[in-house]
Amino acid sequence: MDEQVFWTFYGFQTKGAGRPVQEWFDALSDEEADEVRDTLGYLQHLHPREWKHPRFGPLGDGLSEIRCKIGSLNLWVRIYGAFWPTGRRFSYTLLYGGNKKIRNDRRGKREAVRRKRLLENGEASIHEFKFSEESD
């Protein structure tokens, strides 16, 4: 029998910076937010070996990218993240979100790597990511 898969998505947070990926997501247009929800909802029920291009791509150093195409805007949204916390199955933490306006977003990747290190060093934490505008 196939294993039941259900991913939990988390967002990066610190006391000083708040919840930057959640804030980025909450500021997206309805169309952009719907596409992000649809893409993550699709991935949520797949085994990790089924996370593939064009929606997903590994970047190295434990970092990966989730891509969401916004059709009517001819725009891609990207979210850098990592399979985190380690040791917890089907958990993925969103570290940095942005529009894919440039081919190689070095600044966004650097920030995602920095945030991942903060998590690894215990200097940051995670929160369960909210995909709707419901209050905490």
Task: Write 107-113 long-range contacts (CB < 8 A, 24+).
Answer: 108/78, 108/80, 109/59, 109/63, 109/80, 111/80, 112/63, 112/80, 112/81, 112/82, 113/61, 113/63
Structure tokens at 94: 């969103």
Domains identified in the chain, total number: 1
Q: State the pTM of this model.
A: 0.90
Residue at 118 is within a domain: yes
Identify whether 134 is part of a domain. no
Q: Is residue 68 part of a domain?
A: yes
- Rounded Cα–Cα distance for residues 39 and 19 (Å): 21
* 34 in any annotated domain: yes
For 20-76, the pLDDT digits (tens) are 999 999 999 999 999 999 999 999 999 989 999 999 999 998 999 999 988 777 788
In a domain, 50, yes or no: yes
Instruction: Let me know if residue 21 belongs to a domain.
Output: yes
Question: Domain span at residue 38?
Answer: 8-128
